[in-house]
Structure 1
Amino acid sequence: MQFVVIEWQVYSMTNDELSLGIIGLCEFLPAFFLAPFAGHIVDKKEKRNLFMLCIALFSLISFGLFWLTTQTVESSWETNTILYSIYGLVFFGGVLRAFFGPTIFSLIALLVPKKVYPNAATWSSSTWKGANVFGALCGGFLIAWIGVNHTLGIIFLLVMVALLLVFQIKKKPILNNATNESVKESLKAGIKFVFNDKVILGALTLDMIAVLFGGAVAIFAVFAKDILDAGPKGFGILNAALSSGSIITMLATTYIPITKNTGKKLLVSVFGFGVCMIIFGASKLMWLSVLALFFSGVFDGISMVVRQTILQLKTPDEMRGRVGAVNSMFVGSSNELGALESGIAARIFGAPLAVMLGGTVTLIVVAVMNFSNKPLRELDLTKDIAIEDENDIG
């Protein structure tokens, strides 16, 4: 919800697509460059307390954004001062983003037995996407009903509720016993592991390209305001359409196994996502845009569950923080870098053409990956699940 509200507020203040890209850049820079160091820390520290610290600091960002949009600040500060302050808080959020990904990735592995990782990955992703659905939808409607400032106040309260909920999790053991390992050696080991595994590297690359070039979330405000003439409510609906497709699919995968022909399912899902984004970019009709985003969410949901399952099953416990950090660098940070790319491309080519070009790049990358990465194409996780079952029985 916070992302939706800030995107709308900044575009309303500037009426400039590039400002949306700058938001992405402010979060990308610290999230990307601090991710390897964050992974090292996560592997060395207790996960529950680290997660609580991240949420507590994030609450300061939420309160800061709430304060910057109060009538007192808006009437006494210059617009550029407020804008740069928002960018500063977003940058701070990027620092925390570097720690959030690997911490959550590691904590889930300590809470869930390995034999149910696929199902756990599905529910975890579904919960995240469910928050996206309701957050995006509520964000757009609340902006229209009670304004940006009061909406950000609600967000701050929700973050505090999250902090109380995480406090209910018990402390977990630290699995990395390499106490004499230097930071440099630790970072090198994590990156080397990912780049030496063609399946993990291929899965991360596919998702990174799809998010970086195929995504259009950062410029939904442009489509809602200038192309579809849908206003803030339409802005919320566009965001919710993408996420609702994802969550419906992910809930379905709790009953439909994704471990058989896993690689082919990943390739097909990313290809379908690219096709849907091309249709969205070309659409001038609200109903068609919503439909295209819904089905892009369907394909995105499949790829997300498959990727998370691959990572959880193929990552050693003592390296989960570092592998989660590399995952954040590839996929998490590409959200912000993708926002910058979308903003720049929209400024140069216009929003519709920028989205269509991004979807086309996604299709090309899928085709190249299909022919060049045989281990990923032929991946089948059924055997991995069977091995974990045998280990648990043993």
Structure 2
Amino acid sequence: MPTQAPLLLRHHRPFIAFWLARVFTASGFQMLTVAIGWNLYQLTGNVLDLGLVGLVEFAPRVLFMLHTGHVADRYDRRKVAAICQSLQAMIALALAIGSATDHVTREMIFILAFLLGAARSFEMPTTQALLPTIVPNALFPRAVAASQSAQQSATIVAPALGGLLYAFGSVWVYGPTVILYLIACTLMLNLPARQILLNKGKATLDSLLAGIRFIRSRPDILGAISLDLFAVLLGGATALLPVFAKDILLTGPWGLGLLRSAPAVGALLMSLWLARFAVERNVGRIMFTAVGVFGVATIAFGLSTSFWFSLAVLVVLGAADMISMVIRASFVQLETPDEMRGRVSAVNGLFIGASNQLGEFESGLTAHWFGTVPAVVMGGIGTLLVTGTWIKLFPTLAQRDRMHVPVAEPQTSMESAKPATPMSPQP
């Protein structure tokens, strides 16, 4: 299993370009996030603003939710992804110029955060839909694993690098980020054109609701997705890391970068473990246990005053979150028929965005009301309460043994409509 990525990189040149584009894009976003968070907190010193940035970045996902998947299916995905990456490069360039001329303001950061969220809202489903057209079906699971490793590796290295560069000035973060996005854009445009554009219809509300209706008809899928939504929504403390780094753990931008990288270290290590030792039995119990560990780790982080203990707790938090994410993704992929996967993925993406961006807003708001430490501790307690409640609400999910249990298909209407074989006349 650990050799999956090298195997793909050796034998599939288009995947090399795609994999590197994902590395550069993820690295650029992580560096940009670190710089924006620290820059904004330096400007205003208001923890509520850190939460508002998450809300502003999430807003485009709701506003354009009817169009993101439609665009990915109707237009050349390479060009859509490249346009999104070019827009993100321009956002980083605007911040670099503003920093160099000392013209970065709170309002400017919020406007650019909205544009960043809009670009990512279209880029994420597009690149997800692009991957199956690059590699053969037999290697698709390996390609997904390798793509995830690129994402986690960038999440580990880039925030620490961004924090280190910020020590020399914010322009030293924004400038290299422009280059990373432009390289990713070039790699995307050089991918082979293999997409068959079949979707000529208009995006409609009913098209989105079809995915929602399907999820509601599958209690285990609904339970897995909503559990992750509320657990991360309540327990996420990412938006408050600048406050912990500066005011509680008494470190600087470099320390903030390490704090942001720590969950990804745990996630990467756990993903390697799960690739070698896959979860095959007691998946429901394991998922709920992982979410419970996530809540306990959140409480421990909120109460910690030691930088190194906080790093260790964040590693555990990231590992637990990876277990939940892998099981949830397996439910969505294995329990959903192919003709519904696009619409279900759009709804799932909205849930993921809500848990991340709205979680940042929730963290900033509760920190503004109750204080930073109480907000994180309350969030961890809320995660534990949600876990216990979901065990009661979705008992089949909690008791589920395997990832996928094939269900015998009922006789199709075509088959039932066939005339019965005439009986031979009796002599």
TM-score (norm 2): 0.82
Larger deviation, residues 254-263 vs 267-276: 254-263
8 Å Cα contact 1:28-1:334 kept in structure 2? no
Counterpart AA for 1:108: L
Q: What are the residue-to-residue correspondences of 1:163-174 with 2, within 5 Å?
A: 163-174=185-196
CA shift in 2, pair 1:316/1:64, >3 Å: farther
Instruction: Return the offset for 1:379.
Output: 5.3
Are 1:148 and 2:139 an aligned pair?
Answer: no
2:184 alignment partner, one of 159, 162, 165: 162
CA shift in 2, pair 1:210/1:192, >3 Å: same
8 Å Cα contact 1:36-1:322 kept in structure 2? no
Match of 2:47 in 1: 17
Counterpart AA for 1:167: L
CA shift digits 1:3-55 (9 cap, x unpaired) = 01100000011111011011112111112232233123323334333222221
Q: Is the partner of 2:192 in helix, strand or coil?
A: coil
Q: What are the residue-to-residue correspondences of 1:205-244 with 2, within 5 Å?
A: 205-244=226-265
Are 1:104 and 2:127 an aligned pair?
Answer: yes
Percentage identity across paired residues of the two chains: 37
Larger radius of gyration: 2
Q: What are the residue-to-residue correspondences of 1:72-111 with 2, within 5 Å?
A: 72=101, 74=102, 77=103, 82-111=105-134
Are 1:254 and 2:275 an aligned pair?
Answer: yes
Unaligned runs of 5+ in 2: 1-30, 407-427
CA shift in 2, pair 1:113/1:359, >3 Å: farther
Instruction: Return the offset for 1:176.
Output: 5.7
2:290 alignment partner, one of 248, 269, 286: 269
Match of 1:380 in 2: 402
Counterparts of 1:18 and 1:116, CA distance in 2? 45
Instruction: Return the offset for 1:282.
Output: 0.8
Q: Is the partner of 1:258 in helix, strand or coil?
A: coil
Counterparts of 2:215 and 2:350, CA distance in 1? 12
Counterpart AA for 2:82: M
8 Å Cα contact 1:102-1:323 kept in structure 2? no
Are 1:363 and 2:384 an aligned pair?
Answer: yes
Counterpart AA for 1:299: A
Counterpart AA for 1:193: F
Counterparts of 1:46 and 1:327, CA distance in 2? 23
Instruction: Return the offset for 1:128.
Output: 1.2
Instruction: Return the offset for 1:108.
Output: 3.1
1:291 alignment partner, one of 312, 332, 346: 312
Counterparts of 1:6 and 1:319, CA distance in 2? 37
Counterpart AA for 1:129: Q
8 Å Cα contact 1:125-1:305 kept in structure 2? no
8 Å Cα contact 1:46-1:173 kept in structure 2? yes
Instruction: Return the offset for 1:266.
Output: 2.1
Counterparts of 1:307 and 1:31, CA distance in 2? 21
Counterpart AA for 1:160: L
Normalized per residue, the structure richer in helix is 1
Q: Is the partner of 2:276 in helix, strand or coil?
A: coil
Instruction: Return the offset for 1:180.
Output: 4.9
8 Å Cα contact 1:105-1:320 kept in structure 2? no
CA shift in 2, pair 1:28/1:180, >3 Å: closer
1:33 alignment partner, one of 38, 41, 63: 63
Count residues with an aligned counterpart. Answer: 376
Unaligned runs of 5+ in 1: 385-394
Instruction: Return the offset for 1:268.
Output: 1.8
CA shift in 2, pair 1:181/1:30, >3 Å: closer
Instruction: Return the offset for 1:69.
Output: 1.3
Counterpart AA for 1:25: L
Instruction: Return the offset for 1:120.
Output: 4.3
Instruction: Return the offset for 1:215.
Output: 0.8
CA shift digits 1:228-255 (9 cap, x unpaired) = 1012121111111111111111122221
Counterpart AA for 1:94: G
CA shift in 2, pair 1:318/1:93, >3 Å: farther
1:123 alignment partner, one of 142, 146, 151: 146
8 Å Cα contact 2:327-2:403 kept in structure 1? no
Note the aligned Cα RMSD (angstroms): 2.3
Instruction: Return the offset for 1:326.
Output: 1.2
8 Å Cα contact 1:122-1:305 kept in structure 2? no
Larger deviation, residues 225-234 vs 256-265: 256-265
Counterpart AA for 1:309: S
CA shift digits 1:262-314 (9 cap, x unpaired) = 33332221111111011000111112111111100111122222222322333
Counterparts of 2:66 and 2:284, CA distance in 1? 27
Counterparts of 1:185 and 1:47, CA distance in 2? 24
Q: Is the partner of 1:51 in helix, strand or coil?
A: helix
Q: Is the partner of 1:147 in helix, strand or coil?
A: coil
RCO greater where, 1 or 2, for CA within 8 Å and sep 6 or more?
1
Match of 2:161 in 1: 138
Match of 1:189 in 2: 210
Counterparts of 2:32 and 2:41, CA distance in 1? 14
TM-score (norm 1): 0.88
Counterparts of 1:175 and 1:303, CA distance in 2? 34
Match of 1:8 in 2: 38
CA shift in 2, pair 1:217/1:168, >3 Å: same
